[in-house]
Structure 1
Amino acid sequence: MSQLPDKERLAAFIRENPDQAGKRELARAFGLKGAQRIELKRMLNELADEGVIERRAKKSFAAPGQLPPVSVLIAGAPDANGDLFATPQDWDRDEPAPRILILPGKGPAPGEGDRLLTRVNPVTGEDHQYLGKVIKRIGAGPRRMLGIFRRAHDGAGRLVPVAKGDQREWVILPRDAGEAENGELVEAEQISDGPQRRRAIGLPKARITERLGAPGAARTFSLIAIHEQGIPDAFPEEVEAAAEAAEPVEGLKGREDLRHLPLVTIDPADARDHDDAVAAMPDPDKANKGGHIVWVAIADVAHYVRPGGALDREAIKRGNSTYFPDRVVPMLPEALSADLCSLVEGEDRPCIALRMVLDETGELKTHDFHRGIMRSPASLTYEQAQAAADGRPDPATEPHLEVLAALFAAYDCASIARERRQPLELDLPERRIRLDEAGAVASVGFRERLEAHKLIEEFMILANVCAAETLEARRRPLLYRVHEVPGEAKLDALREVAEGCGLTLSRGQIPRPALFNRLLRQAAGSDFAELVNLSVLRAQTQAYYGPDNLGHFGLNLRAYAHFTSPIRRYADLVVHRALIAAHGWGNDGQTGEEMEGLKDIAEHISFTERRSMTAERDTNDRYLAAYLAERVGNEFEGRIAGVARFGLFVKLDETGADGLIPIASLGREWFRHDADAQTLTGEDSGRVIGLGQRVLVKLQEAAPVTGGLLLELLEVEGESGPRPRGRNKAPRKKIGGAGIARAKAKRKPRRH
């Protein structure tokens, strides 16, 4: 008869052999019979009572928190490397659920939210605790949607989606409505009682999963966008814990002491973090007469966010911070983004700093990077810096006038080189939505473009160029910021707009920013200036991140990378790590695994950037619709900014908001859409309505939940608009829109 194992050996066997942890299997494994089995049962009960092991179904045991060999998992979304992780479906312990890496198998890959019957095996030394092999998929992830709940008398109701263009309603049965109130904004997921039941109802069914409050309440518009775009807005406990556990850098520890440099931060007044600081001084080198030394110091986020850690996984998942009028969804927890990583005035902070030497013509002579400790003497706003430069200092800027004077002198010098380089010079006002204390829109205006803005922008561009060139010289893989040359189709569309405005865009030339700048100068000061700027912007390709250097067309630069905002962009953190590895500054630099995964990282963070842009734009649209809702019936001036088969898009002068004039409201005739010329032409009257024309419209409807504005056309270029269908009035005078636009443009003097 075999000898009974002691409790320590028994517990170790259960941990190492979870598939043999039933009483029968354990007795067989240790060769126990008769009375020994009774003693085994006693030992197992004692171990369970002591919390060393846990009782499981079917008379089996497991180490605390250990998953059964076959478990039901919920699949997550693929990460930046394309790997798919899952978590246990039934996890009720206090500690974070284990991560399970799903191994590739035959058939389609599981989707986010899918329920998977999976065989799991524990692993050690990885950033995940198990490997999982899918046995079968036992349920697809439900479709989720946001909407307004409309409750009926019997307790059931309908879900009206808030997404633009989604007209399908969903049935909510009483048992699936929970405590949601009529008119409340909710999140719901699709459910089904089978095809017969669904056909009988006639509409798909859904279950309310979360109540989000009154749809028109302050600060709900950004929440809608966050849910709609799937932006992670709550940090997991392990990520918050990692951020809270981070400690300030003490001493130099191999860093350079840069605290003597007057590195000031210059940011918007509402900035929540400060990740860049600048300083400048005349170059004392007599061989560089009239030259300048410029320092750009950037928060050393890589010191705190190490590759593969919890903070890193969450940062790459988010890709970037997302900014709304009422909130920020940060890439990093506040303990880092607003404190330890932020270049706070008067506090020692780790940084990666760049020293650049410019000659008197603004050309970059030399540059070198340093890893150091800095202490900013001042945290200023753009407005403060500009006022000081204009001779109107305040108590905060008075002690730093010499520093600011040196910065503006260096910027004037750098501007000479910028003018020679001829980057794309778009002039588009940036809309600014101000909220009151209750979160409602107080005003809508446009941000003033100051020289202080341009100063910081120019020094950040130079720093990004230096980062790319340094890494190329040291043969380190990096992520480039890529902006490709516009395609012929977009150039042809822009040419149509230019000709419609009485301007010219030369044919047959190699596209360069200077070509577009000539067009922009032609339009400057005319009624078409904003339209042409918008059209030039639309003609550009969308910038993205990539490991291959394809240049930056808009900035007219051969090599460009993002280095200056690692608190809010993961791309910059990748570049920081590459610089750390290239200079041999420590063990927190670029890893081999990160180098191999750059392509996947680039694709993922390009996606998260587009996701944030969409969420920010949609939120602004909702705030503007809420702001204008009280002015339904009022008349507004604007310009046709888009022409589609279904109607006209108008940008209102006062707020920059975009509204739709449905084609059905334009008149009693059919309109022919010309996508190339961006016009609608009446089949009977021959009236032409086209891009860029000035219009007077009436606001018919403003829907804050969707951000939609519905407009009625009153006048085009000062003449009465088409007669709406159904009105028995004499025909209006025919409007030759494109011809009028060309004629007016030709009569106006052009600026060159």
Structure 2
Amino acid sequence: LVYDDVSMFLDTNANNSNIYKDDVLKEKLHLMKELDEILTIKRKNRGTIDFELPEIDISFNKYGEVENISKKTNGVANRIIESFMVCANEVVGKHFGNEDIPIIYRLHPKPTEEKLEILKNYLRHLNINIQSIDQITPKFLSNIIEKFKDSNKSSFVNYTILRSMSKAQYSSNIDIHFGLATFLYCHFTSPIRRYADLTVHRTLKNYLHANNETTKNYLDYLDITSNHINDTEIIAIDAERKLEDIKKVEFMKNKIGQVFNGIIVSVTSFGIFVQLDNTVEGLGKYEDIADDYYEFNEQTLTAVGKRSRNVFDIGMEIEIIVAKVNEISNEIYFYLNR
């Protein structure tokens, strides 16, 4: 089965399609979709935070040069598998927790009070007034993301909430997973590409074979292993982000002078960040805006023209011209059109 084919079959409800002819297979695929919908509702009701963050899709030509950058779209088939994987991770984690058998868990601590206070102030700009940071639960944040899902402020909302989050980590200790609004969660479904999953598989294998002595000796290394893969995960994430930035700059350096449409995702004291439809983000400096002198208003997170009173606000659609790129710092700069 191919993800795209399954998504096409389920999205169009193409029972008579030539994609699949096996009636048993068709029924199973529809049952999988139905189960995913049940699991999704269950997770949503308990408060799982489902971030709406665009993934990047980079294509290359035969010479290894960046040919195109676009927003990756995942179909219903991808969502089904992801849903089932989360469910499997929960089941395995809860089983070991209930059996009091130590494994490597995937923890996501609650955000710090300092970060929640910052988030509280940002949310005020969206007319969301919070009396106490105790109100900020996973379900509360999930509802905010859902509220702005189809809004131009969606990107700002998602990234603002994401920046307030603590970093997820691996540990042999038992604690919450704040983002998933659950307890006793582990990574189990990807032992080929994640070492944490492989350690859980090894523990499960020893448990199933009642090899308690081997399990005991092996578990002595859980803390060391957790610390190591936490460190390597940070390195891997940083490398991935840097590579994406490099490729975005490589792509946009050939677009100097071209016009694009984008959405303002951040207004700061030094300029305005605009995100294009292809996920590329660039900075428009106030000094490069010819029609007026713009001042940053920290209270409203806007930039206001001193003479014209024109306003740049988060979520505003705007036309930009690619001004330049810096291949040393991997930064992209725009001219903002009014």
TM-score range, shorter chain: 0.7 to 0.9
Cα distance change on mapping 1:697 and 1:551 into 2, 3 Å: same
- Aligned 8 A contact 2:294 2:303 in 1: no
1:102-152: CA deviation from partner (whole Å, max 9, x where unpaired): xxxxxxxxxxxxxxxxxxxxxxxxxxxxxxxxxxxxxxxxxxxxxxxxxxx
Cα distance change on mapping 1:446 and 1:590 into 2, 3 Å: farther
Q: Indicate the structure whose relative CO is greater, using CA pairs within 8 Å and at least 6 residues apart.
A: 2
Alignment of 1:691-706 (within 5 A): 691-704=314-327, 706=329
Alignment pair present for 1:654 and 2:277: yes
Kindly state the Cα deviation for residue 677 of structure 1 after the two structures are TM-superposed: 6.1
Cα distance change on mapping 1:691 and 1:510 into 2, 3 Å: same
Cα distance change on mapping 1:404 and 1:589 into 2, 3 Å: farther
SS of the aligned residue for 1:564 comes to: coil
Distance of 2:331 and 2:34 partners within structure 1: 46
Q: Please identify which structure carries the higher strand content.
A: 1
- Aligned 8 A contact 2:263 2:274 in 1: yes
Distance of 2:117 and 2:153 partners within structure 1: 18
Cα distance change on mapping 1:681 and 1:656 into 2, 3 Å: same
Distance of 1:476 and 1:547 partners within structure 2: 10
1:449-476: CA deviation from partner (whole Å, max 9, x where unpaired): 3221221111111111111112123322
- Count of residue pairs the alignment pairs up: 332
Which residue of 365, 380, 383 corresponds with 2:4?
Answer: 383
1:235-268: CA deviation from partner (whole Å, max 9, x where unpaired): xxxxxxxxxxxxxxxxxxxxxxxxxxxxxxxxxx
Cα distance change on mapping 1:670 and 1:693 into 2, 3 Å: closer
Distance of 1:654 and 1:699 partners within structure 2: 14
Q: Which letter maps to 1:538?
A: R
Aligned to 1:598: 222
Kindly state the Cα deviation for residue 657 of structure 1 after the two structures are TM-superposed: 1.0
Aligned to 2:83: 458
Aligned to 2:198: 573
Cα distance change on mapping 1:412 and 1:500 into 2, 3 Å: closer
- Normalising by the residue count of structure 2, what TM-score does the alignment of the two structures yield? 0.84
Aligned to 2:104: 479
Distance of 1:653 and 1:666 partners within structure 2: 19
- Aligned 8 A contact 2:203 2:215 in 1: yes
SS of the aligned residue for 2:273 comes to: strand
Distance of 1:614 and 1:479 partners within structure 2: 23
- Aligned 8 A contact 1:432 1:444 in 2: yes
Aligned to 1:527: 152
Which residue of 541, 553, 556 corresponds with 2:166?
Answer: 541
Q: Which letter maps to 1:382?
A: Y
1:492-520: CA deviation from partner (whole Å, max 9, x where unpaired): 3333433334x315332432222112222
Q: Which letter maps to 1:616?
A: E
Distance of 1:519 and 1:621 partners within structure 2: 29
SS of the aligned residue for 1:442 comes to: strand
Cα distance change on mapping 1:493 and 1:444 into 2, 3 Å: same
Cα distance change on mapping 1:585 and 1:395 into 2, 3 Å: farther
Distance of 1:397 and 1:625 partners within structure 2: 42
Aligned to 2:56: 431
Cα distance change on mapping 1:578 and 1:535 into 2, 3 Å: same
Distance of 1:666 and 1:588 partners within structure 2: 70
- Aligned 8 A contact 2:195 2:229 in 1: yes
Alignment pair present for 1:493 and 2:118: yes
Q: CA-atom RMSD, angstroms?
A: 3.2
- Aligned 8 A contact 1:574 1:590 in 2: no
SS of the aligned residue for 2:181 comes to: coil
Cα distance change on mapping 1:607 and 1:681 into 2, 3 Å: farther
- Aligned 8 A contact 2:263 2:318 in 1: yes
Structure number with greater Rg is 1
- Normalising by the residue count of structure 1, what TM-score does the alignment of the two structures yield? 0.40
Distance of 1:387 and 1:693 partners within structure 2: 33
Q: Which letter maps to 1:504?
A: I
What are the ranges of 5 or more consecutive residues in structure 2 without an aligned counterpart?
none
Alignment pair present for 1:637 and 2:264: no
Kindly state the Cα deviation for residue 412 of structure 1 after the two structures are TM-superposed: 3.5
Distance of 2:29 and 2:312 partners within structure 1: 51
Aligned to 2:245: 621
SS of the aligned residue for 1:638 comes to: strand
Distance of 1:477 and 1:573 partners within structure 2: 14
Kindly state the Cα deviation for residue 422 of structure 1 after the two structures are TM-superposed: 2.8
Give the % identical residues: 24
Distance of 2:285 and 2:77 partners within structure 1: 42
Q: Which letter maps to 2:192?
A: I
Aligned to 2:30: 405
Cα distance change on mapping 1:600 and 1:534 into 2, 3 Å: same
Cα distance change on mapping 1:687 and 1:549 into 2, 3 Å: farther
1:684-725: CA deviation from partner (whole Å, max 9, x where unpaired): 99987564444433211124565321223333xxxxxxxxxx
Kindly state the Cα deviation for residue 434 of structure 1 after the two structures are TM-superposed: 1.8
- Aligned 8 A contact 1:580 1:588 in 2: no
- Aligned 8 A contact 1:464 1:561 in 2: yes
Cα distance change on mapping 1:575 and 1:451 into 2, 3 Å: same
What are the ranges of 5 or more consecutive residues in structure 1 without an aligned counterpart?
1-379, 716-752
